[in-house]
Amino acid sequence: MTAAPSVSYSITVRIELPARPTMVSDLTTLIERAGGVVTALDVTASGNRRLRVDVTCAARDSDHAKEVVDALRQLDGVEIGKVSDRTFLVHLGGKISIEPKVPIRNRDDLSLIYTPGVARVSQAIAENPADARSLTIKRNTVAVVTDGTAVLGLGDLGPLAALPVMEGKAALFKRFAGIDAFPICLDTQDTDEIVRTVKAIAPVFAGINLEDISAPRCFEIERRLREELDIPVFHDDQHGTAIVTLAALKNALRVVTKELSDVRIVMAGAGAAGTAVLKLLLAAGAHDVVVADDKGVLHPDREDLNESGRWTAENTNPRGVKGTLRGALPGADVFIGVSAPNIITGDDVATMGRDAIVFALANPEPEVDPAEASHHAAVVATGRSDFANQINNVLAFPGVFRGLLDAQSSHISTDMLLAAARALAGTVGDDELNAAYIVPSVFNPDVSNVVAAAVAEVAGNERERTERDHERVERERERETKRGDAGVEGVATT
């Protein structure tokens, strides 16, 4: 599959050329013949005989961008000046900053926000730690934590190379949910040290967003942090993907008028994202799910499975399917790929059942060419922005954390994830729903608020239940104490 030109490989080329009437058409025609897409053309200087023009165009990749520039050199009288990669320009100096929320204009201001005034606030928090949520940044701050071992689809690039991604994540938290997030890139891959470090910095934050940590370590890191911290821990690669996938599948099933409990689902990928998607599908009511990894279908007889794979084998595949991914596809209603590029073809999709649904989420290259899949499937979704139905985690994590922070939740539960998926699916109304629109745009202004409200409601209900249970236990303890005291008094009297 040939990738389409993308703004991710957008360049601006400064060109000087003769001032002739056909200048604009000559430039745009040449770029289009080279496979690029012109997005802007600005005349930055003009003389009697020559013009200076900044041409911005999108290319398929870095090599293609060079080909476009080389093609421009072929125009008569052209001089190529500076070529700027717009993606790198956006990242210069980083993408986030910290700014004070209160003015610091004079000694009075300084005395209020720092010494001596701040000492009173510190003493108040020491006496009542819960006040930290109202008197510090804690109430609205999330740590975006990674060790750089699974950066996007690029693999183990290390913590420094992960920093631009974590900065971007922090910027998205602010843009879509008003949350102050900070990137924490740890220079260790030791599970114990990561858990210990995150616990040590946790007092600053109201939530932890784990990001781009490789499987299977990510499972243990998340589990231990959830057990040992009193703030919610969310692994976006797992649970963000799961929420948006479930929401999109709910709407895709509405399009083809099928029920989740009735359909046969085949999944490719048993890593962090695949396992989380699977567990949420099962919690939502899916029954017939077959999961395959690069060695074939997972089933209890396989002896090469790790702990997570063993769980999957024991909780899926009710029909006892064995063999390859391709062998599991015939008759399936749904294919969900969270694995590797180009592992199936349009012909494989053709073997699926009537009105099939295909979610090919590997990025940037999906498991199957979306154009080929669309010839045989009723609904096709990918992880890419240049096709319809993008399964994008930005639809989930800002709203999820907004709800968690608003409810001052100490944890995140499966019920909250299900509520987020239902709310996200519900943002697409019956009058909007169609095969090319099963999830809303990430810029839909309602998404974050709707998801946040759904999560906050469940979090609030769970907290009330916990408080009632705690009160009941305390009452039982008091009654037991009174009965014990009465017994002691009777013995003493005797």
Which positions are annotated as active-site residues?
Answer: 114, 169
**Three-class SS state of 87:** helix
Q: Kindly calculate the radius of gyration of the chain based on its CA atoms and give it in whole angstroms.
A: 28
- Transcribe 359-416 into DSSP letters: EE--SSS-SS-HHHHHTT-SEEEES-TTSSSB--GGGTHHHHHHHHHHTT-S---HHH
Residue 291: in which H helix or E strand, if any?
Answer: strand 288-293
* Sign for the pseudo-dihedral over CA of 331, 332, 333, 336: negative
Cα separation, 112 vs 109, whole angstroms: 5
Cα separation, 246 vs 438, whole angstroms: 11
* Sign for the pseudo-dihedral over CA of 364, 368, 371, 376: negative
**Three-class SS state of 437:** strand
Cα separation, 417 vs 401, whole angstroms: 11
- Transcribe 131-198 into DSSP letters: GHHHHSGGGGEEEEEE-SSSBTTTB---HHHHHHHHHHHHHHHHHHH--EEEEEE-S---HHHHHHHH
- In the sheet that holds 37-46, the strands lie side by side as 37-46, 50-59, 6-18, 79-85
Question: What residue type is 288 in one-letter code?
Answer: D
Cα separation, 262 vs 471, whole angstroms: 42
The contacts of residue 336 (CB under 8 Å, 6+ apart) are: 245, 249, 265, 266, 267, 268, 269, 277, 359, 361
> Smallest Cα–Cα separation from 266: which of 211, 200, 180, 343?
343
Cα separation, 35 vs 23, whole angstroms: 19
> Smallest Cα–Cα separation from 388: which of 400, 378, 397?
378
Cα separation, 174 vs 197, whole angstroms: 24
Query: Could you tell me the two tokens for 314?
Result: 């024991």
Whether the bond between 364 and the residue before it is cis, its omega within 30 degrees of 0, is: yes
Eight-state DSSP code of residue 434: B
> Smallest Cα–Cα separation from 44: which of 81, 2, 87?
81
> Smallest Cα–Cα separation from 197: which of 215, 207, 184?
184
